[in-house]
């Protein structure tokens, strides 16, 4: 049985590795570490088909270390302990560098499985490299996360994907014997969804289906030969991102019908309940916010409930929350406020805290004026007194601007009454 194209042209060195310049380019954060062989335990986080497994193999080869691999789908605590035991025995036998243990889809490991890695990582018996398509902050236990560096792999750009196709045509032992011309690539790239492995699999399928030595790749040819199944939900591939996007946009657009439909697509596809609930938590603040603060409470309770209950009953709770969020009034004012505030901080740097807002726990600080002239709001009518709360350089800057929902209109009136013309509410 012959290897698929993606395996046949898998890069063996950093020189051949395409994309991820921020990690392994000339000035990449991992480049020098790999060249020197000083590799920390790390987690590679990125979409499917962005080169996580390939990079792990290159790291092991370049640093001349024994390489062990496990898949979180098919391995349990027993398999983890067996591999660690073998790694301990090899450690120092063939090299002075500790072995690398690569775990694909580490986010699928349970807490107990991740716990079984801690001792080996902490004692340096192995250098762990984990690959994940999910946010490690949510899917990797804190104790293991604290022992690993997290590196983000970006989706392939159009130029990177075209380079992959060109290299396959030129270097692959089978494709290089044919006369292949890349006249058009848009359809191929669209079908791949930025997944390099998927792109190469589609490309090989297309070439094999032609049965001729001379092939011109056009969009029409691709679409006529390759039929994409849009019904099935691939929770590790392109539709994982497309459908969660459609789900959140349906909530944002106040359409409970669209929201529940896309929710059903994810449930039928076996999507992780926590992944769905987390996205609703974000939407409750980003898209609804102060227009209905209870939405965040409902979303938080939903996350806790589905985590405890799981499928199939969790589908009812997810549906209830999705409908509630979709039918809530919408506001992104809080989201825009923190976005604006961060932009100001990046632009202006660490501005000095005004003296009257500073803490004064010592006599020296009091003598220097710390806390002097601060007015305690509760000493005044309506528990309010006008004073400056921003650094002098950005005084009077309006960062929070209430939206148009009824609740926010009352907030705008409240702020206008308190601050008069200061912030132009």
340-350: average pLDDT: 92
Instruction: Give the CA angle between residues 40, 86, 88 to the nearest 5°.
Output: 55
CA 261 to chain centre: 24
Non-local (6+) Cβ contacts of 185 within 8 A are: 161, 162, 165, 217
Q: Does the structure show a pLDDT above 90 at 325? A: yes
Residues in contact with 78: Cβ distance below 8 Å, sequence separation at least 6, in sequence order: none
Q: State mean pLDDT over 3-21.
A: 89
- For the chain, the residue count is 425
Rounded to whole angstroms, how far apart are CA atoms 419 and 247? 39
Q: Which residues have C-beta within 8 Å of that of residue 128, sequence separation ≥ 6?
A: 41, 42, 100, 101, 103, 117, 120, 121, 144, 147, 148
Cα–Cα separations (whole angstroms), residue 281 to 13, 55, 299: 41, 33, 5
Tokens describing residue 164: 């992959």
**Nearest to residue 150, comparing CAs of 12, 21, 29?**
29
Contacts 24+ apart (CB under 8 A), 161-170: 161/185, 161/189, 161/192, 161/194, 161/196, 161/199, 162/189, 163/18, 164/9, 164/18, 164/196, 164/199, 164/200, 165/199, 165/200, 165/203, 167/9, 167/18, 168/5, 168/9, 168/200, 168/203
- Least confident segment among 82-96, 204-218, 302-316: 82-96
Contact assessment for residue 188 and residue 217, using Cβ atoms and an 8 Å cutoff: yes
Q: Indicate if the pLDDT at residue 95 is higher than 90.
A: no
Pairwise CA distance, residues 244 & 230, whole Å: 15
In angstroms, the Cα distances linking 162 to 174, 176, 182, 187, 252 are 18, 16, 9, 12, 35
Q: Is the pLDDT of residue 12 over 50?
A: yes
> What number does CATH give the domain 158-225?
1.10.8.60
Q: What is the pLDDT of residue 232?
A: 44
- Tokens 């705008």 sit at which residue? 412
pLDDT band at 169 (very low <50, low <70, confident <90, very high): very high
* 326-337 tens-digit pLDDT: 999 999 999 999
348, two tokens: 């202006």
Torsion-angle region of 377 (φ positive above 0: left; ψ -120 to 50: alpha; else: beta) = alpha
Average pLDDT value for residue range 260-270:
90
Q: Which helix (H) or strand (E) holds 70?
A: strand 67-71
Mean pLDDT lowest among 192-201, 357-366, 397-406: 357-366
Q: Which pLDDT score is estimated for 308? A: 92
d(CA 331, CA 334): 8
> What pLDDT band is residue 81 in, cutting at 50, 70 and 90?
confident
Whole-angstrom distance, CA of residue 83 vs CA of residue 243 = 37
Is there a cis peptide before residue 312, judged by omega within 30 degrees of 0? yes
Residue 94 has pLDDT above 60, yes or no: no
Range with top average pLDDT, 59-68, 291-300, 413-422: 291-300
pLDDT of res. 131: 93
- Reported in sequence order, the residue ranges of 72-217 that DSSP labels E, i.e. its strands, are 100-104, 127-132, 149-152, 179-182, 214-217
Does an H or E element contain 67, and which?
strand 67-71
Average confidence score pLDDT of the chain: 87
CATH class entry, domain 20-152: alpha beta
Q: What pLDDT, on a 0 to 100 scale, did the predictor assign at position 356?
A: 87
The whole-number pLDDT of residue 338 equals: 95
pLDDT of 341 reads 95
Q: Rounded mean pLDDT of 364-375?
A: 79
Cα separation, 233 vs 223, in Å, equals 20
Q: What is the largest CA-CA distance in the chain?
A: 88
pLDDT tens, 204-261?
A: 888 888 778 889 999 888 888 875 443 445 555 556 778 898 999 999 999 999 999 9
CATH of domain 238-326: 1.20.272.10
| % of the chain surpassing 90 pLDDT | 42
Intrachain domains 20-152 and 158-225 with the same fold = no
Q: Let me know: does 247 contact 262? Beta carbons within 8 Å.
A: yes
Give me the CATH code for the 349-419 domain, please.
Answer: 1.10.3710
pLDDT higher than 70, residue 400: yes
Q: Which of 46, 95, 28 is nearest to 67 (CA)?
A: 95
Domain ranges for the chain: 20-152, 158-225, 238-326, 349-419
pLDDT at 195: 84
**What's the pLDDT score for residue 129?**
94
- Cα separation, 157 vs 8, whole angstroms: 22
State the pLDDT confidence band at 15, using cuts at 50, 70 and 90: confident
Residue 1 pLDDT class (50, 70, 90 cuts): low
Is residue 409 predicted with pLDDT exceeding 80?
yes
User: Can you give the C-alpha Rg of the chain in angstroms?
Assistant: 27
Q: What is the pLDDT of residue 96?
A: 53
Closest listed residue to residue 241, CA positions, set 198, 180, 301, 304? 198
């Amino acid at each position: 049985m012959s290897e698929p194209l993606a395996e046949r042209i898998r890069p063996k060195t950093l020189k051949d590795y395409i994309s991820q310049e921020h990690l392994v380019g000339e000035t990449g954060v991992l480049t020098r570490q790999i060249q020197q062989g000083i590799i920390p335990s790390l987690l590679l986080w990125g979409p499917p088909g962005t080169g996580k497994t390939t990079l792990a193999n290159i790291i092991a080869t370049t640093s001349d270390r024994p390489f062990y691999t496990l898949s979180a789908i098919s391995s349990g605590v027993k398999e983890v302990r067996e591999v660690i035991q073998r790694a301990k025995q090899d450690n120092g036998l063939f090299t002075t560098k500790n072995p690398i243990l690569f775990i694909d889809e580490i986010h699928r490991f349970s807490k107990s499985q991740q716990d079984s890695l801690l001792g080996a990582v902490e004692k340096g018996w192995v250098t762990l490299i984990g690959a994940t398509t999910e946010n490690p902050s949510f899917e990797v236990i804190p104790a293991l996360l604290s022992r690993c560096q997290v590196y983000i792999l970006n989706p392939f750009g159009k130029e990177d994907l075209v380079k992959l196709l060109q290299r396959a045509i030129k270097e692959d032992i089978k494709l290089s014997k044919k006369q292949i011309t890349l006249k058009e690539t848009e359809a191929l790239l669209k079908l791949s969804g930025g997944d390099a492995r998927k792109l190469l699999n589609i490309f090989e399928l297309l070439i094999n289906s032609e049965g001729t030595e001379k092939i011109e790749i056009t969009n029409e040819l691709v679409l006529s030969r390759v039929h994409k199944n849009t019904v099935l939900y691939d929770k590790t591939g392109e539709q994982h991102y497309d459908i969660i996007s459609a789900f959140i946009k349906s909530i944002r657009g106040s359409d409970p019908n669209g929201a529940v439909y896309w929710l059903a697509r994810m449930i039928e596809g076996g999507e992780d309940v926590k992944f769905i609930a987390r996205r609703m938590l974000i939407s409750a603040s980003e898209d609804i916010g102060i227009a209905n603060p209870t939405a965040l409470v409902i979303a938080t309770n939903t996350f806790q409930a589905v985590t405890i209950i799981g499928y199939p009953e969790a589908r009812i709770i997810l549906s209830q929350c999705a409908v509630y969020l979709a039918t809530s009034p919408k506001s992104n004012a809080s989201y825009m406020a923190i976005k604006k505030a961060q932009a100001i901080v990046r632009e202006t740097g660490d501005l000095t805290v005004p003296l009257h807002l500073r803490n004064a726990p010592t006599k020296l600080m009091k003598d220097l004026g710390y806390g002097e002239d601060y007015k305690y709001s509760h000493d005044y009518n309506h528990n309010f007194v006008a004073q400056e709360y921003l650094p002098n350089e950005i005084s009077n800057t309006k960062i929070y601007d209430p939206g148009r929902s009824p609740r926010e209109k009352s907030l705008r009136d409240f702020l206008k009454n308190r601050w008069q013309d200061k912030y132009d509410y």
